[in-house]
Amino acid sequence: MKHRLLHEFTREEIKIAFDQADIKQNGHLRIDELKNAIGYLNLHLPNRRIVEIVNDCTNNETIDTIDFILFTNIVKSLHRREPITLQKFKPTHHLTSIPTTS
């Protein structure tokens, strides 16, 4: 499996992933859509890691949706972490929520 430094993602790549995951095309991602958006970048992250990243980027504020600016910040914050394994991704639009950690 390959590793890719996440800061290599261009704004265009991030926007394409965001738009593909934005099912309602309303400019906001629900948490389940966020997992798909990250997957469209060919990244595999466990749900708990996604929750940790969102919490870090929002200063632990509770949020319902993620706009493009926040998504960009989430992706950019990943490059400060360990490399993430690339793998094939199958979108799961049927997810209802990502379990949160207590």
Query: Which position has the higher pLDDT, 14 or 9?
Result: 14
Residue 42 near residue 89 (C-beta atoms within 8 A): yes
Given pLDDT bands bounded at 50, 70 and 90, which one contains residue 90? low
State the pairing for strand pair 65-67/28-30: antiparallel
Q: φ, ψ for residue 62 (rounded to 5)?
A: -80, 130
Residue 7 near residue 76 (C-beta atoms within 8 A): yes
Mean pLDDT across the stretch 21-42?
A: 92
Q: How far is CA 76 from the centre of its chain?
A: 10
Q: What's residue 85's pLDDT? A: 44
pTM above threshold 0.85: no
CB atoms within 10 A of CB 23: 13
Alpha-carbon distance of 56 to 3, in angstroms, equals 23
- Domain 6-78 falls under CATH 1.10.238.10: yes
Q: What's residue 91's pLDDT? A: 54
